[in-house]
Amino acid sequence: MDRRNFLRTTGIATGGLLISNSTKTFATNNKFFKMKKTNSMLKLSFMPYTLQLRHAFNLAISSRTTTPIVLVKIEFDGYCGFGEASMPPYLGESHESVIRFLSQLNLSQFSDPFLTDDILDYVEKSMKGNYAAKAAVDIALNDLIGKIVGLPLYKIWGLNPEKTPKTSYTIGIDTPEMIKLKVNEAEPYQILKVKLGRTNDKEMIETIRSVTDKPLVVDINQGWTDRLMALDMIHWLKERGVVFIEQPMLKTNLDDTAWLTQNSPLPIIADEAFQTIDDLEKFKGVYTGINIKLMKCGGLTAAHKICYVAKNMGLKVMIGCMTETSCAVTAAAQLSPLADWADLDGNLLISNDPFSGLKIIDGKITLPENAGVGVVPLKHKTDIDKFIK
């Protein structure tokens, strides 16, 4: 089902942006905007960038201090939309692969940014995989459309910004001293997400509980291998105020995960195991919910659809992120009124964010009122200023 038909049959667009491709007339906030005819074409440009993490990001099976990303810009008739591709190692993408993908795209063949079905279908079919690269184009295109119309995406989609959830703040695996430091840094946040999956899981939780009684969620990142041990740990974690468990076992181990979900006193959420909408059907009875990330599924358009399909299947929805700038994180936040939980802190873990966007007030996601994804470029006095100006 294409995007227009999906919106029409589900009623997602009610109260938001009404699009008529024949007249190019738009109803926004009871005012009508008529798109003028131009000779402009879409112009795509991109720039590799490396995010610097404030602390080493330690997971069950890896550790890193940087994350490669590629910033993307789509220009049309004086408007500019931004996007990004973030490439943590497990996705299998890199600066080189994203640049290779983007270099072979020809968006200048399109002279109407509102032909999103045609544009994104072309992007999708141009090369298999490359979901982070495709997400960058999709985010930038949605940002561009929002800016042309003059509305943030959540208003285009008819979502209530008051329904945004609180976001968790991530505490990576570390020494007890560093754990306490990270917990202190997370004081403004009301939910902590704790990375587990090594041999010091209980020590991590006990260290955190020595300094805070905030609700916790835990992300195992496929670190547990024995389902009986996992179930014992989940019961122990529940007694210590943990709300749910994310990706406890290998993503390929569906049988043990299904058993764990059936017996667990806490919800079991799929992360590495879940990527695109095609994965949903096989997860019925295996997981309680899914973690939707733009870089995994290919962008906002795909994530928007996944939210509704997953909820119709009875699955809980979490909106998450990779280590990203405020551009991609704020883009994902536009969908957060649809989510049961949010983990949108990737921009808070870096020291060289080129943008400002969403705010976290008393732990709750607060969406900006700026058009599009809602971000504003910051000045860094480096080459990146020329790209994002």
**CATH code (residue 296):** 3.20.20.120
Flag whether pLDDT at 22 surpasses 50. no
Q: Which residue has the higher pLDDT, 314 or 63?
A: 314
Whether the per-residue pLDDT at 29 is higher than 50: the answer is no
Are 348 and 300 contained in the same domain?
A: yes
- Same domain? For 136 and 165 the reply is no
Q: Look at residue 192 and tell me if it is in a domain.
A: yes
pLDDT, position 359:
96
> Is residue 385 a part of any domain in this protein?
no
204 plus 251 within the same structural domain: yes
Is 330 within a domain?
yes
- Do the domain assignments include residue 105? yes
Q: What value does the mean pLDDT take over residues 16-34?
A: 42
Q: Specify the long-range contacts of residues 123-128, CB closer than 8 Å, at least 24 apart.
A: 124/298, 126/101, 127/101
| Statement: residue 108 has pLDDT above 90 | yes
Distances in Å between the Cα of 327 and the Cα atoms of 2, 86, 95, 241, 345 are 26, 11, 18, 32, 12
Enumerate the β-bridge partners of residue 318: 291, 341
Residue finishing a domain among 105, 131, 151: 151
Give the angle 51-55-57 at the CA atoms, nearest 5°: 80
% of the chain residues with pLDDT over 70: 88
- Same structural domain, 196 and 96: no
Q: What is the pTM of this model?
A: 0.89
H or E stretch at 35: none
Mean pLDDT rounded to a whole number for the chain: 89
| Residue pair 218/236 in contact by the 8 Å Cβ criterion | no
Where is pLDDT greater, at 381 or 149?
149
Work out the pLDDT band at 26, boundaries 50, 70, 90. very low
Out of 151, 184, 204, pick the residue that ends a domain. Answer: 151
3-state secondary structure at position 310: helix
Q: Is the pLDDT of residue 44 over 80?
A: yes
pLDDT in tens, 201-218: 999 999 999 999 999 999
Number of domains in the chain: 2
18 pLDDT above the threshold of 70: no
* Measured CA distances, 78 to 39, 42, 119, 135 (Å): 12, 11, 19, 23
118 plus 171 within the same structural domain: no
61 compared with 45, residue with greater pLDDT? 45
With a cut of 60, say whether residue 9 has pLDDT above it.
no
Res. 228: pLDDT tops 80: yes
Question: Within 13 Å and on the Cβ side, how many CA atoms surround 182?
Answer: 26
Residue 156 located in a structural domain: no
Model confidence pLDDT, tens digit, residues 182-204: 999 999 999 999 999 999 999 99
One domain for residues 247 and 278: yes
Spatial distance between the Cα atoms of 219 and 216, rounded to a whole number of angstroms: 10
Confidence of residue 16 (pLDDT cuts 50, 70, 90): very low
The residue among 142 and 87 whose pLDDT is bigger is 142
| DSSP string of 257-301, one letter each residue | HHHHHHH-SS-EEESTT--SGGGTGGGBTTBSEEEE-HHHHTSHH
Residue 203 and residue 326 in one domain: yes
Same domain as 222, residue 80: no
Q: Is residue 386 part of a domain?
A: no
> Which CATH number does the domain housing residue 103 bear?
3.30.390.10
The domain boundary, picked from 121, 151, 181, lies at: 151
Q: Distance (Å, rounded) from C-alpha 4 to C-alpha 222?
A: 37
Extract the tokens encoding 207.
């260290």
Beta-carbon contacts of 302 under 8 Å, excluding residues fewer than 6 positions away, are: 138, 276, 277
What are 238-262's pLDDT values in tens digits? 999 999 999 999 999 999 999 999 9
pLDDT digits (tens, 9 = 90+) for 271-302: 999 999 999 999 989 999 999 999 999 999 99
CA distance 239 to 322: 29
**Who has greater pLDDT, 238 or 380?**
238
Q: What is the pLDDT of residues 339-373, one digit of tens each?
A: 999 999 999 989 999 999 999 999 999 999 999 99
CA distance 251 to 271: 8
343 and 200, same domain (yes or no): yes
Compute the C-alpha angle 37/71/291, nearest 5°: 100
SS3 state at 29: coil
User: Helix, strand, or coil here: 253?
Assistant: coil
Residue range 306-331: mean pLDDT, rounded: 97
Residue 129 and residue 167 in one domain? no
- Contact between residue 244 and residue 269 where contact means Cβ atoms under 8 Å apart: yes
Same domain, 83 and 193: no
Residue 90 in any domain: the answer is yes
Name, in order, each residue with C-beta under 8 angstroms of 261's C-beta and a sequence gap of 6 or more: 268, 285, 286, 287, 288
Q: Are residues 215 and 82 in the same domain?
A: no
Residues 6 or more apart whose Cβ sits within 8 Å of residue 198: 60, 173, 223
* Res 387: pLDDT: 87
- Lowest-confidence region among 67-71, 102-106, 143-147, 384-388: 384-388
Expressed as residue numbers, the domain containing 29 is: 3-151
Q: Which tens digit of pLDDT belongs to each residue from 116-174? A: 999 999 999 999 999 999 999 999 999 999 999 999 999 999 999 999 999 999 998 88
In a domain, 96, yes or no: yes
Q: What per-residue confidence (pLDDT) applies to 178? A: 93
**Distance, CA of 28 to CA of 18 (rounded, Å):** 8
Q: Note the pLDDT of residue 3.
A: 45
